[in-house]
Structure 1
Amino acid sequence: MHPAFSVVFFTAATGAGYGLLALLGVLAPSGVIPADFWLGLIGLGLALGLIAAGLLSSTGHLGRPERAWRAFSQWRSSWLSREGVASVATFIPAGLFGVGWIFLGRLDGWVAVAGVLAAFGAIATVCMTGMIYASLKPIAQWHSPYTLPGYLIFSAMSGSVLLNVVMQGFALGSKMLLAASALLILLGWGWKLATWRYNDRLEIPTTANTATGLSGGMVQSLEWPHTEENYLLKEMGFRIARKHSAKLRRITQALAFGLPILLLLAAFALPWPIAAALSALATIAQFAGMLVERWLFFAEAKHTVMLYYGR
């Protein structure tokens, strides 16, 4: 698949933003995070800012961005439409949660309820984003048991690293949060390796023979269906060399998983403000690595429509 940067940024930014929002919505009302004005403003501002930036970026891949609103009308049958509805609906409890925390200094009562609802909305939206891809049967690399859990794991991982750097910025970081972030990174790393192993060993049952219903030999195309590149070839026929794929996988592992773990372990052992600086570096490295990982997620996917073109 063609890895458009607008969609790559969308999945990376919203995943991190929703992960941070879910953690804030659960941990703040439980008393783990204090009802501080600046902490709430920066934490929720970062979460909602990433979500909004990702959603706006996703419209850049549309041929007619001004018609994006029409996607909301197909929620009965489209996971894309359901994701749009859920993402907008989540802003309602998130906004109430922000008003109560930032302007009223409260994290109890209806503010706590709004925070929990915002967390549920964030998790539901991430699930629907994952289902956009997991439901596509023509793309075997996405239509697998690894896609949806991967979206949830990466969202929790990115959100925990963001929460850690916010807390460290206010000298409120804890060893428990650092350990939880490191464990989630290890979980994400292991899940990504398992996903790559599954995709590399994947045997796609659909062939030119099964598509045409012909048997008794290998079906081959004598000539191309047309002489110039079309939309399908541009969007579905993107190919990446195996050597480039292997290199980008190593970069993903280094930036998204390996380096953040080392930096967080160092932050675990060192005092503030060094721990805060190391946490910031871990956040930056991980986001860059997740952009590469998301790019590979699209670039390595193969659509069965390319059998029509002899690929």
Structure 2
Amino acid sequence: MHPAFSVVFFTTATGAGYGLLALLGVLGGVGAILADFWLGLISMGLALGLIAAGLLSSTGHLGRPERAWRAFSQWRSSWLSREGVASVVTFVPAGLFGIGWVLLGRTDGWVVIAGLLAAVGAVVTVCTTGMIYASLKPIAQWHSRYTLPGYLIFSAMTGSVLLNALLQGFAVGSNILLAVCLLLSLLGWGWKLATWRHNDRLEIPTTANTATGLAGGTVRSLEWPHTEENYLLKEMGFRIARKHTAKLRRITQLLAFALPVLLLAIVFALPWPVAAVLSVLAAAAQFAGMLVERWLFFAEAKHTVALYYGR
């Protein structure tokens, strides 16, 4: 599949934003994070900013962005539409939580409820995003048991590392949160390796023979269906060289997992402000690594329509 940067950025930014929002909604709502004005303002601003930026960037991949609103009407059958509805609905409790936690300094009553609802909305939205890809049967690399849990794990991982960087920046870091960040990063690393191993061993059940129903012999094209590149070849017939795949996988592991784990492990033994600087570097490296991971997620996916073009 063609890895358009708008969609790559969308899935990375919203995943991190919703992960951060879910943690803020739960921990801030119950008073586990102090209702400090500047901490709350920057934290909520970063979470909602990442979500808004990601959602806006996703429209760049549409042929007619001004008609994007029509997608909301297909929520009964489309995971893309359900994602749009869930993302908009989540802004309501998130906004109320931000007002109560940041502006009013409250961590009780309706603020707790708003925070928990915002967290639930964030998780639901990430699930709908994952299901957009997991539900596509023509793409075997996405239509697997690894896709949806992967979206949830990476959202929690990037969100927790961002939250740790924010808390460390305000000198209110927590060793418990640091340990959670490390565990989630290791879990994400393991899950990504397992996903790659699964995809590399995939045997695509559909072939030119099964697609045409001609079981005898080997079906092949005598002539190309088109004399030049068309939309399907550009969007669904994208190919990446194996050597580039291996290189980008190493970069993903280094930036998204290995480097953040190393930096966060060092943070345990260092005082503020060095711990804060390393925590910010870990968050930045992980976000960059996840951009590469998302690019590979699209580039390595193979749509069965490519069989029509002899690929």
TM range (shorter): over 0.9
Can you list the C-alpha shifts for 1:45-86, whole angstroms capped at 9, x where unaligned? 100000000000000000111111111010000000000000
What SS does the corresponding residue of 1:28 show, helix, strand or coil? helix
What is the TM-score of this pair, normalised by structure 2?
0.99
Per the TM alignment, residue 134 of structure 1 is displaced from its structure 2 partner at its CA by 0.1
What SS does the corresponding residue of 1:68 show, helix, strand or coil? helix
Aligned residue in 1 for 2:11: 11
Residues in 1 aligned to 2:86 and 2:287: alpha-carbon distance in whole angstroms = 24
Per the TM alignment, residue 31 of structure 1 is displaced from its structure 2 partner at its CA by 2.1
Aligned residue in 1 for 2:78: 78
Per the TM alignment, residue 174 of structure 1 is displaced from its structure 2 partner at its CA by 1.1
Q: Does 1:39 align with 2:66?
A: no
Residues in 1 aligned to 2:13 and 2:43: alpha-carbon distance in whole angstroms = 15
Cα RMSD after superposing both structures: 0.5
Per the TM alignment, residue 30 of structure 1 is displaced from its structure 2 partner at its CA by 2.1
Paired residues of 2:29 and 2:101 also in contact (CA < 8 A): no
Residues in 2 aligned to 1:62 and 1:222: alpha-carbon distance in whole angstroms = 34
Aligned residue in 2 for 1:260: 260
Q: After the TM superposition, which residues 1-311 of structure 1 pair with which residues of structure 2 at under 5 Å, given as runs?
A: 1-311=1-311
Residues in 1 aligned to 2:96 and 2:32: alpha-carbon distance in whole angstroms = 20
Residues in 1 aligned to 2:103 and 2:310: alpha-carbon distance in whole angstroms = 61
What SS does the corresponding residue of 2:29 show, helix, strand or coil? coil
Residues in 1 aligned to 2:226 and 2:290: alpha-carbon distance in whole angstroms = 37
Deviation above 4 Å: which 4+ runs of structure 1? none
Per the TM alignment, residue 102 of structure 1 is displaced from its structure 2 partner at its CA by 1.4
Can you list the C-alpha shifts for 1:93-114, whole angstroms capped at 9, x where unaligned? 0000001011111011001100
Residues in 1 aligned to 2:164 and 2:242: alpha-carbon distance in whole angstroms = 36
Residues in 1 aligned to 2:36 and 2:113: alpha-carbon distance in whole angstroms = 18
Question: Structure 1: where are the runs of 5+ without partners?
Answer: none
Paired residues of 2:236 and 2:306 also in contact (CA < 8 A): yes
Query: Letter of the aligned partner of 1:73 in structure 2?
Result: S
Per the TM alignment, residue 228 of structure 1 is displaced from its structure 2 partner at its CA by 1.4
Residues in 1 aligned to 2:46 and 2:268: alpha-carbon distance in whole angstroms = 23
Residues in 2 aligned to 1:183 and 1:195: alpha-carbon distance in whole angstroms = 18
What is the TM-score of this pair, normalised by structure 1?
0.99
Residues in 1 aligned to 2:148 and 2:103: alpha-carbon distance in whole angstroms = 36
Residues in 1 aligned to 2:100 and 2:171: alpha-carbon distance in whole angstroms = 23
Identity %: 84
Can you list the C-alpha shifts for 1:11-61, whole angstroms capped at 9, x where unaligned? 000000000000000111222101111111011110000000000000000
Question: Structure 2: where are the runs of 5+ without partners?
Answer: none
Count of residues paired in the alignment: 311
